[in-house]
Amino acid sequence: MTAFKPLIFSGVQPTGNLHLGNYLGAIRKFVALQDTMDCIYCVVDLHSLTAQLVHEDLKDQTRQITAAFLAAGIDPERHIVFNQSRVMQHAELAWVFNCVARIGWMNRMTQFKDKAGKDRENASLGLLAYPSLMAADILVYRATHVPVGDDQKQHLELTRDIAQKFNNDFSHRIAELGVGVEIQMGDETVNGFFPLTEPVIGGPAARIMSLRDGSKKMSKSDPSDLSRINLTDDADTISKKIKKAKTDPEALPSEIAGLAGRPEAENLVGIYAGLADTSKEAVLKEYGGQQFSVFKPALADLAVEKMAPIAGEMRRLMADPGHIDGVLRNGGERAGVLAEANMKTVRDIIGLLQG
């Protein structure tokens, strides 16, 4: 084997309603990547336990994420769609990676610091070890590329660190078994079983902010439903939320520099650019000098055109949970075959007795 086979992996947590930010920042990208690479898309239900251990509706939330994948255009026959807990090898490899990763690496994770807050001693071990499971999600398939937003870049760097340390520690064993790829690490050549996964960075609207406060990211947990456009919102609701979005009294500028210090204006221009698959510059070229009384209805029409069909298809899919469960079951079986083949080799590399 001289190279790793190109493969995309990404996952979405089943916590709360998906919204426009999730769609523009991640799911639409997932759809586009299908045309160029093999893809594995996962509903990471085990990860959701780090945010909240006891869920009343985790199964339905898992189905809703799956419905969003399918409604947006992900093809579960050409690619793989499944929920993480169906494939036990994710958790098995995560334990191996817990023994590869260093506590100092985990303590440096910004997301852990943010979520644990001041009472870090009371945070769950799962929250601290979350990035190790994320690395396992990716590397149990030896995925070469992961679409990431700004908040996950550090975790992907950690995934690369874990892969690199495993490859270094077991380089001779990997060579003896003939299961690796030669990787140049500075002046040294290492026999690597795991790829150093590369990020796929987002486009012009990868970061969508709240419709009520342009300084805050659009969030499922915001108490105001007017702060976000949910993927299940109908046409009337989408239009109403856009028209009620916070703005300022000035007209739109003709140049990007004119958006400085105007977070709500910049957010709405970014949403338009993302939905139209264009740039903020192009939006301002068309609407520069116009008041929001002109721009908002145009944005509302565009949002309805792009998002309402997805919402309708999601509602149709959610009405047939048996179909969604079948998609996840089939995807889990296919993912499990790939994961077990790689995990069997990992066990051989480590020296675990099996067979």
Residue length of the chain: 355
In angstroms, the Cα distances linking 37 to 33, 144, 145 are: 6, 10, 10
**For residue 10, what are the contacts with CB-CB under 8 A and spacing of at least 6?**
26, 30, 39, 40, 41, 42, 146, 147
Alpha helix segments (H runs only) across the chain: 20-22, 28-33, 48-51, 58-72, 89-100, 103-107, 110-116, 125-139, 153-169, 171-177, 235-244, 263-276, 280-287, 292-318, 321-350
Q: Which of 1, 18, 29 is nearest to 274 (CA)?
A: 29
Its sign, for the CA torsion 168, 169, 173, 178, is negative
Q: Are 46 and 14 in contact (CB under 8 A)?
A: no
Q: What is the DSSP letter of 121?
A: G
Task: Give catalytic residue positions.
Answer: 115, 217, 220
Q: What is the DSSP letter of 151?
A: G
Q: Which of 291, 282, 296 is nearest to 204 (CA)?
A: 282
Matching residue, tokens 């995934």: 159
- Rg, the chain, Cα only: 22
In angstroms, the Cα distances linking 141 to 60, 273, 344 are: 26, 34, 12
Amino acid code (one letter) for 46: L
41 beta partners: 10, 81
Q: What is the DSSP letter of 41?
A: E
216 beta partners: none
